[in-house]
Amino acid sequence: MLSVSFFQRDPLTCSRELIGCELVWDDCAGIVVETEAYLAEGDEACHTFARKSAREFIQAHEAGAAYIYLNYGVHWLLNALIKGGSQDGFILIRAVQPTRGIELMQQRRKLSAITQLGDGPGKLTQAMNVRGLDHGTSLCSDPRRWFLLKGPQGEVMADKRIGISKAAHHMWRFLLKDSEFDSRKPSH
DNA sequence: ACACGGATACTA
DNA sequence: AGTATCCGTGTC
């Protein structure tokens, strides 16, 4: 399992290197195929820019903690806390390729198509049952929830982050090239 | 194209 | 209290 030290480095490096790792969450698991990096300082799209609670979260938690919040009042979104490297930040998990617990994911998503179980940040949390009460729990020490290093699964490419109005030009979205499980095709 | 829906942080 | 904003999804 990825240890705390993995998350104590530069957020952009962590975001890129999480691609190809397997996210294990209780009875379900999937290969991470898409992430986005958010920087705690100087990034207007990061929660720390407007939310006191996000800044306090960084203070109060160790690197590798799960930062989970409700988006648009509908979807839980899963992030990993990056802390203690050159700069702090968050990595948003945007898409996974299901590997374990697929039947459970199909039940929760009310869908059978494997490619649609985790091809979006809100979809994968629904499929894997990631909820608000898991906010703050560690992704480095909980025996049921961790990241597994699996080695390169293909070519990783960078693209602009999705769905944000501020600081939208940064190429801080990382995805597995040509994966059917990405939430969106790259823009160029 | 648009409805859905709640936490957070503002204003007063 | 009320309002603006927000890292999305499903269906119209």
Question: Taking 80 as the threshold, does the pLDDT of residue A188 lie above it?
Answer: no
Mean pLDDT for the stretch of residues A141-159: 94
Rounded to 5 degrees, φ, ψ at A63 are -55, 140
- Closest alpha carbon to A117 in A16, A177, A35, A29: A29
pTM: 0.96
Question: Taking 80 as the threshold, does the pLDDT of residue A167 lie above it?
Answer: yes
A51 touches strand B (CB under 7 A): yes
pLDDT of residue A152: 84
Grade residue A123 by pLDDT with cuts at 50, 70 and 90. Answer: very high
β-strand pairing of A89-100 with A145-148: unpaired
Q: How far: A23 CA to B2 C1' (Å)? A: 33
Mean pLDDT for the stretch of residues A137-144: 95
Which residue's CA shows the smallest distance to C1' of B6? A73
pLDDT of residue A153: 85
Which residue's CA shows the smallest distance to C1' of B10? A50
A47 touches strand C (CB under 7 A): yes
pLDDT of residue A88: 97
Rounded to 5 degrees, φ, ψ at A12 are -65, -40
Which residue's CA shows the smallest distance to C1' of B5? A73
